[in-house]
Amino acid sequence: MIVYLFKFILCSGFLLLLYLIFLEKEKINRFNRFYLLFAIIFSLAVPNITIEKTILPETFLIEKQSAFTDETVVAPLTAVKKSNLLFVLVVISYSLVSVFLLFRFVRIIYVLISRARKHERIRHQNATLVLLPEGFAPHSFFHYIFLNKNDYKNARVENEVFVHELTHVRQKHSFDTVFIELLLCLFWINPILWLYRRSIKLNHEFLADQGVIRNHYNSKAYQYLLLTRSALPNTLSLTSSLHFMLTKKRLVMITKTTSRTSALLRQSFVIIVWVASIFLFAAKTTAQTKPPTVVPQLKEVESTQEGASQALMKEYAEIVARNKIIGGGRYVFGEFSVEEHKRLETIFKQMSKEQQSRQDIGFTKVPPPFPRNTITTQQLSAWTDANQYGLWINDKRVKNDVLIKHKPSDFSHVFVSKLMKNAINYGKHYYQVDLMTNEYYEKYRAEALSDNRYYMTIRKPAIW
């Protein structure tokens, strides 16, 4: 979720910056309206878009957890509890802010509907005029236009004001406003959304002002009218108000013109950059190729039907206990002497399978060699990325760019392991790729087939 929010903030910020630089100052207000709305929707969706790149399938990604090393650490229970408590507190705090904003949103709608019901209403074209006794600036919400009653009765409401507010109603600007306000209730943590709200509402005023000028009203007189109305009290945030953001920018926009060529160039440019941003903010994933042969299982360990005697089991337990770290629940393999190792192996082979399954320290045979597998050109190319993959060839660490000199047929086997978060190299890369050349694989295979030794292993997880 944190990654999603981070990408949402970055993407929405990038697209808004694009708007502010290339579009806001140009008189292409209809295009700008839909740009802002779709930029938000796009920013919400793009982190969920996945771009696939082909590597080995998950059945090939085997996390290496060696029984001979102590790489896996179990987090203390107290730390887990603290982490869970912190998470719960964050969720509660976030939810409380969202509930407060949602309550505020509902309350504003309730106030507007109550005003429309309590006060005198008059049908005017495709809108409903609501006459208020208070001295507010003219404003609209969906099909309601709120005006001062005395001004309306005494014919002091200019025709330009009617046209301005009717433009808001006809173009349904309130839908945009409600949309952004609801999003702010859910994603208030994204500071860019608050800037979007300002830009959307300002764009609405540009459109309404443009509607007035298109009806052949004098632009200079209209600018003067806006200035005279600027001293009126502010209206509720969900409404479209005549004097919203009455700045030099808005006054200049009334008389500004943008050539068709300039508009097309700017629109084409931002759309191209917008499409390209998909590759920047989309989630990256991996496409799986044909699954390889199943990883071979360990060879069967010798056992007996009758099992080891109680005396042998006691002797086995005593040898194991001498090499156990006190209080740690771990074993140090280097502490077993050659004689102890041989004695444990002898007793282990005399145990029944049930007795063997109960032992912390056990023995296993070397598994059969890994089978050959097919490597594709796409995989070889992907593994050159040192930020994602650590590369070993024939058990030696090498630089990723050496793969440029190789082709898939140079290798007989690959083993890809996904690093755990507590691994030493985690962050430097996230996958370990072990490749065997043809010659090296033949040598490895021959040695594995002939190796019948037993190896000491931890058969049960250590208890911390």
| Residue 119 near residue 130, CB atoms below 8 Å | yes
Contacts of 378-386 spanning 24+ positions with Cβ under 8 A:
378/53, 378/54, 378/55, 379/54, 379/55, 379/56, 379/289, 379/408, 379/414, 380/406, 380/407, 380/408, 382/53, 382/54, 382/55, 383/55, 383/433, 386/429
Q: What's the pLDDT at 299?
A: 59
Q: What's the pLDDT at 82?
A: 56
Residue 13, pLDDT above cutoff 80: yes
Residue 322, pLDDT above cutoff 60: yes
In 222-261, which positions are buried (b, 16+ CB within 10 angstroms) versus exposed (e)? bbebbeebeebeebbebbbbbbbebeeebbebbeeeeeee
Which range, 83-97, 173-187, 342-356, 439-453, has the best average confidence (pLDDT)?
A: 173-187
Q: What's the pLDDT at 328?
A: 47
- As given in the structure block, the two tokens for residue 109 are 């709608």
Tell me the pLDDT band of 360, cut-offs 50, 70 and 90: confident
The per-residue pLDDT of the chain, averaged, comes to: 83
Burial, 81: exposed, middle or buried (Cβ in 10 Å; 0-12, 13-18, 19+)? exposed
CA distance linking residue 321 with residue 330, whole number of Å = 10
Region 164-185 average pLDDT: 96
CA dihedral for 416, 422, 426, 427, sign (positive or negative): positive
| pLDDT top residue among 460 and 70 | 460
Q: What's the pLDDT at 459?
A: 58
E strand map for 75-126: 121-124
| pLDDT top residue among 366 and 139 | 139
Tell me the pLDDT band of 177, cut-offs 50, 70 and 90: very high
Tell me the pLDDT band of 283, cut-offs 50, 70 and 90: low
Query: Beta-carbon neighbour count of residue 87 at 10 Å?
Result: 10
CA distance linking residue 404 with residue 25, whole number of Å = 49
Residue 51, pLDDT above cutoff 80: no
Which range, 83-92, 101-110, 227-236, has the best average confidence (pLDDT)?
A: 101-110
CA distance linking residue 453 with residue 442, whole number of Å = 20
- As given in the structure block, the two tokens for residue 195 are 């800037």
Report pTM. 0.60
Residues of the chain with pLDDT > 70, as a percent, come to 84
Residue 121, pLDDT above cutoff 50: yes
E strand map for 98-170: 121-124, 127-132, 139-141, 144-148
374-422, pLDDT tens digit by residue? 899 889 989 999 989 999 999 999 999 999 999 999 999 998 888 887 7
CA distance linking residue 92 with residue 96, whole number of Å = 6
User: What does the domain layout of the chain look like in residue ranges?
Assistant: 310-365, 369-458
